[in-house]
Amino acid sequence: MSTTITTMKAVHYEKSFEVSVREGPAPKIQHPDDTIIKVTTAGRENMGIVDQVSSGVTLLRKGDRVVIPFNVADGRCLNCEEGRTAFCNGVNPGFAGGAYGYVAMGPHNMFAFPYADFNALVLPAGTRHESSFAFLADIFPTGWHGVTLSNFSPGESIAVFGAGPVGLMSAYSARLREASRVYVVDKVPARLEAAKKIPGAKPIDFSVGDAVDMIIKENGGKMVDRSVDAVGYQAVGSGKGEEEEPNVVLEQCIMVTRPTGGIGVPGLYVPADLGGPDEKAANGMMMMSFGKLFEKGLTIGTGQCNVKKYNRYLRDMIISGQADPNFVVSHEINIDDAPSAYQKFDQRIEDYAKVLIHPNGPLRS
């Protein structure tokens, strides 16, 4: 006899720098394409076990183990038909894409998501590769996407700015794709240590010198072939302070990349930033050396990751043993510990770098 679940726990945004865990109503089926999953692992990522399917869902069954892209899509618009699911025009009319809380996919015990047949990626049953599979929702495809945006080819050198989860996955993806040299730029000790776990990757600590100069020196006096901005608009300009300089990483990419090379930008930039350091930044604008970009004939690719373009292939690489992105996990917690974990992550203390939440308790084999 099944029991209907009426309430659930969820991480709730209270105000800047403060979250709580609250009880709330459990999700309900609202559309024939909806599915509800019981979440096993969450963060920016969400995966779990199918609990309910609506009448229009034909490819999923109760009990299926699935992972969901952080940006859901309807599978029906022009962009989806062309494989650009991050820019779906149907799920959120008036905006290109449905992400960043559009379907309330933050850490919950359970959640409902739309267009389930199109969005869900079915995984092998059990608990094997749980954390690695969870990263198929976001950071592993996004890291791979950042390298792709740079027009990378095997054998080339690449510099990745930012050793957060996406930056680490960009560097790891470059190694999987046979980069000759990989440089990873950051100043947080725990992140630089994590970069050392990537075979052949060279951490660059920008708190001790100019990142561009250090990379060129390490690269035999040459600029790199490709670069990736995995930081975005909240970049800081030097290792000494914490003042935001939204353009600093793009500038460094332009300066460190060889003529006719390429830059990939999976790092987040926004149309408006109320906390920007000046009026231009507040309106999503910034100064950049476009003349140098033009002079060098650089290409630049930007935008959210089209998760569905990559996730099933990366899943199969994990299953076959060719990839294991699990090395980026720093902590695994239950949902009640989320408020303190968010604070520690924000403050970069106790080596909180990539945290996975198990909202329904520890996994059972």
What confidence tens digit (pLDDT) does each residue in 108-149 have?
Answer: 889 899 999 999 999 999 999 999 999 999 999 999 999 999
Q: Is the pTM of this model over 0.75?
A: yes
> pLDDT band at 246, cuts 50/70/90?
very high
Parse the chain into domains and list their residue ranges.
Answer: 7-138+307-358, 142-302
Query: What six digits make up the tokens of 225?
Result: 């072939």
- 7-138+307-358: CATH topology: Quinone Oxidoreductase; Chain A, domain 1 (3.90.180)
> pLDDT band at 1, cuts 50/70/90?
very low
> Which parts of the chain are beta strand (E)?
7-15, 18-25, 35-42, 46-53, 65-68, 110-113, 121-123, 157-161, 181-186, 201-205, 224-229, 257-265, 299-302, 331-334, 355-358
Tell me how far CA of residue 322 lies from CA of 79, 128, 195, 318, in angstroms.
31, 15, 18, 6
Query: What six digits make up the tokens of 109?
Result: 């015990």
- Was domain 142-302 assigned CATH 3.40.50.720? yes
